[in-house]
Amino acid sequence: MEGEVLYSVKWYKDELEFFRYVPKNYPQMIAFRRPGVYVDLTRSSSTAVALEKLTRESEGIYSCEVSGESPSFNTTKSHKKISIH
């Protein structure tokens, strides 16, 4: 992905999208309602998503998907399990 123009960054909890950043869109950032996931848009960006009000309901598999611009739209995705104690 290095050297490519960014098309989008998408965040998922348990395969459900909860945050999207697309630099060419207005607004660039959008958060989707998901149980246990509360996004602080004022502290989120293309490189990080800020979550607040974390509870046991927030636990799950979180994924970040990054896509490059056309024509290739190369995409990479990484997953991590998050536990709240």
Contact present, 49 and 39 (Cβ < 8 Å): yes
For residue 71, cis peptide bond before it (omega within 30 degrees of 0): yes
- pTM higher than 0.75, yes or no? yes
- Assess if residue 85 is contained within a domain: no
Q: Tens of pLDDT along 13-45?
A: 999 999 999 999 999 999 999 999 999 999 999
Query: Is 22 inside a domain boundary?
Result: yes
- Judged against a pLDDT cut of 70, whether residue 1 lies above it is answered with no
Q: What is the pLDDT of residue 45?
A: 96
Domain coverage including residue 71: 6-78
CA–CA distance, 46 with 56 (Å, rounded to integer): 26
Inside any domain, residue 71: yes
**Band (56; pLDDT cuts 50, 70, 90):** very high
Residue 45, in any domain of the structure: yes
* Structural domain count of the chain: 1
> For residue 44, which of 25, 33, 28, 65 has the smallest C-alpha distance?
28
